[in-house]
Every structure is written in structure tokens, then in C-alpha cells.
Amino acid sequence: MSQQTSNSSALPTEPPELAARREHLLATLEKEAKVATGTAEPVLRKMHELLANTQPGAPFNPALYEDVKTAFVNFTKAPVFPPPAIIMECLAFMQERQVAFLSASQR
């Protein structure tokens, strides 16, 4: 039995600015992951997967969240300096997305 389920039915409609920002971040993550070194490379690849998984209609994959966590734990144990700025941009996007969806669901 698959652990993936559709996440589109429970979520409000995604604001267009979030969709556009995600597309920009996905392109940047892909570009930066190709040249990343050390533990930064798996973090960027997993962040790419995570952001791609937030697209409307994408199946929810709970294992992906554990994979992202593991990549970050490994990164904190052996960080790459300077850390790629895109990581913080992605975290900010995820926070903004959560706030937007929480706000929309409370209306």
C-alpha cells in the first residue's frame, strides 16, 4: 500500500505569486544542485523534491520530509561554507506558503 496521498483536496487554491515563486526556486535549486559540493548537494536536491511536491495535485509523500530532515542533519554535521542562500529562500517560501494556506482556510 502506498503512503502517498493526494494533497490537492484539502488545500485552498494556491495564490499565483506563490506558484511563480516556487517555479523560480525550483529552477534555482536545480541549477545550484548541479554545482554544489559536499553535504550541500543532497540538501539542495531534497529541497527541490520537497518544493516540487508542493505543486497542486502532487501526491503527499511523508517519507520525503524525513529525507529532507536527514539531509539537513548531515549538513549541520559537515556544513559547506558559505551555505547556499537558496536554502533560506526555500525555507522562507515554505513558511509563507503555510501562512497563506492557514489564512485562506480560516476565512
Look at residues 40, 61, 39 and name the one whose alpha carbon lies nearest to residue 50: 61
- pTM of the predicted protein model: 0.84
Classify residue 13: in a domain, yes or no: no
78, 38 Cβ separation under 8 angstroms = yes
Classify residue 61: in a domain, yes or no: yes
Domain total in the chain: 1
Look at residues 39, 17, 33, 49 and name the one whose alpha carbon lies nearest to residue 86: 33
Classify residue 1: in a domain, yes or no: no
Classify residue 10: in a domain, yes or no: no
pLDDT tens digits for range 42-52: 999 999 999 99
Classify residue 100: in a domain, yes or no: yes
Classify residue 28: in a domain, yes or no: yes
pLDDT tens digits for range 13-70: 889 999 999 999 999 999 999 999 999 999 999 999 999 999 988 998 999 999 999 9
DSSP 8-state secondary structure symbol assigned to residue 84: P
Look at residues 56, 74, 52 and name the one whose alpha carbon lies nearest to residue 64: 52
> Residue 48 belongs to what domain range?
20-105
Classify residue 14: in a domain, yes or no: no
